[in-house]
Chains A and B, each alone.
Chain A
Amino acid sequence: MSVITESEHLVIYRPRYAVISSDTASRNVIRRHCLLDVSITAAKSDAPSSFSTRQIAAPQSVEKELERLFAECQDEIFEDGMDSDFSRRLARLILTRRDAALLELNVLVRSARTPPNLVAEALRTLGGISDKNTHAFRRWILADLLAARSVTVRDGAIVGLANLDDPSVKKMVESRLPHEPSEQLRQDLKQLLDQLETPEAGYALSVEEDS
């Protein structure tokens, strides 16, 4: 039986989606390669063309529902430890629509039109959801947004990963540390690494569950 390192594990079980999402403003087709190095797990020919119909596109209702949620909650003020209408509704949507919701959310949280404060709250919520079926996808979104441009979004990603408590992201956190411009967030990344040394039992998926 071969041994899989943590970093390999994160890459191997990164969700294999090419997200095709309709941008409501321009109806442009956006192709997003979530798989950064397709050669690891799939042939390059597996990546769909812009006109491919082979990939699963999220139902429009999920897209609309998420957009409505983000629009309705854009003025909500968030406080740590306090429930918010936004996080409750978002968690419910992800638990019911799973990957379809995450595919659309992945586009929304990267849109320049989405307020960073709302993106950060979405990331905090993503980390707090307990659902094995969407764990890998949520983990990938959170880890990837450690490199976001906005300090608010990066903070949300750190909190989300702390809530997720999955040690398989340690290597990514370590690699991000020297590039983080905020002194506060460097402290938080170090705190996150300390936490991931001793994750709570039952928080993270085992390799078997993750496959």
Chain B
Amino acid sequence: MKRPKLGMPYLLRKIRRVRWDPQLKAELPGCADDDCPSDCLVDLKTADCALSLWHVEDDKSNLNDVAVALATNCDNVDHLDYALVAREEVEAIGLLQPSKGATAHRAANEQWHWNLVNLTARRVAHLAYILFRSAERVRVSKKEMVRLIRDALVKQKLDRDKMKFGV
């Protein structure tokens, strides 16, 4: 499996951005400075004590491909919210293992999918706080996602059979 060189890259996780909005924390009585709303944990659902994450190069050159990969895993084309955090911050929490992705994007599956493994409840909560404190949280509009998916289809990056929708 081809793996990228590691400079100062990022890790990306699909989220619902409003769950991470500092304004939501402000609405939550008794939320301490070093804490975040529990709804953030909804976006960090683990399976087999592992969390799926996507590697993004330090120059973000593969960011659109990763966004497309995540979008093609959905039932419908929609806007995409994601959190982007420095890889080294996540590495401090647990072990990152390369893993093949299960999206329609062939290159993304092979090159950029990782699992954060051996997670405990405390480690997930710690990760949530790190994402809340330092992640860049971005929304890509539905129209932009349609454009990116169409572009990826034209460039034959996607396996159409794995997509549940057309654009």
Known: A80-B78, A80-B80. A185 touches B141 (CB 8 A): no
Q: A80-B74, A181-B23, A184-B21 are in contact. List 19 more A-B contacts (CB 8 A).
A: A78-B16, A80-B14, A80-B16, A80-B78, A81-B74, A81-B75, A81-B76, A82-B74, A155-B17, A155-B18, A162-B79, A162-B142, A182-B22, A184-B17, A184-B22, A184-B23, A185-B21, A188-B139, A200-B143
Tell whether, in the assembled complex, residue B75 and residue A151 are in contact, meaning their CB atoms are under 8 Å apart: no
Proximity bits, A161-192, B CB within 8 Å = 1, else 0: 01100000000000000000111110110010
Q: Which of B18, B23, B139, B141 contacts A120 (CB 8 A)?
A: B18
Q: Which of A77, A83, A152, A159 contacts B42 (CB 8 A)?
A: A77
Q: Which residue of B lies closest to A182 (CB)?
A: B23
Judge whether A195 is part of the interface by a CB distance below 8 angstroms. yes
CA of A207 to CA of B14 in the docked complex: distance in angstroms? 38
Tell whether, in the assembled complex, residue B78 and residue A81 are in contact, meaning their CB atoms are under 8 Å apart: yes
Q: 8 Å CB contacts to B: which residues of A129-156? A: 150-152, 155
CA of A81 to CA of B71 in the docked complex: distance in angstroms? 7
A166 vs chain B, min Cβ distance (A):
14
A73 vs chain B, min Cβ distance (A):
15
Q: 8 Å CB contacts to A: which residues of B130-157? A: 137, 139, 141-143
Proximity bits, B40-80, A CB within 8 Å = 1, else 0: 00100000000000000000000000000001001111111
Specify the main secondary structure of chain A where it touches its partner.
Answer: helix
Q: Which residue of A lies closest to B43 (CB)?
A: A79
- In the bound complex, residues from chain A placing their C-beta under 8 Å from that of B17 are 155, 184
B83 vs chain A, min Cβ distance (A):
12
- In the bound complex, residues from chain A placing their C-beta under 8 Å from that of B80 are 80-81
Judge whether B33 is part of the interface by a CB distance below 8 angstroms. no
Q: Which residue of A lies closest to B73 (CB)?
A: A81
Tell whether, in the assembled complex, residue A152 and residue B24 are in contact, meaning their CB atoms are under 8 Å apart: yes
- The interface of chain A, by Cβ under 8 A from chain B, is 77-83, 117, 120, 150-152, 155, 159, 162-163, 181-185, 187-188, 191, 195, 200
Interface centre among B42, B76, B79, by most chain A C-beta atoms within 10 angstroms, is B79
- In the bound complex, residues from chain A placing their C-beta under 8 Å from that of B27 are 150-151
Tell whether, in the assembled complex, residue B141 and residue A195 are in contact, meaning their CB atoms are under 8 Å apart: yes
- In the bound complex, residues from chain B placing their C-beta under 8 Å from that of A200 are 143
- In the bound complex, residues from chain B placing their C-beta under 8 Å from that of A162 are 79, 141-142
Judge whether B35 is part of the interface by a CB distance below 8 angstroms. no
B26 vs chain A, min Cβ distance (A):
8
Proximity bits, B111-137, A CB within 8 Å = 1, else 0: 000000000000000000000000001
- In the bound complex, residues from chain B placing their C-beta under 8 Å from that of A181 are 23
CA of A120 to CA of B141 in the docked complex: distance in angstroms? 17
Q: Which residue of B lies closest to A156 (CB)?
A: B18
A205 vs chain B, min Cβ distance (A):
19
CA of A78 to CA of B76 in the docked complex: distance in angstroms? 13
Judge whether B110 is part of the interface by a CB distance below 8 angstroms. no
Q: Which residue of A lies closest to B20 (CB)?
A: A184
Known: A79-B16, A80-B80, A83-B76. A155 touches B21 (CB 8 A): yes
B131 vs chain A, min Cβ distance (A):
14
Q: Which residue of B lies closest to A200 (CB)?
A: B143
Shortest 7 CB-CB contacts between residues of A and residues of B:
A81-B74, A81-B78, A155-B18, A182-B23, A151-B23, A83-B75, A80-B78
CA of A195 to CA of B14 in the docked complex: distance in angstroms? 22
- In the bound complex, residues from chain B placing their C-beta under 8 Å from that of A151 are 18, 21, 23-24, 27
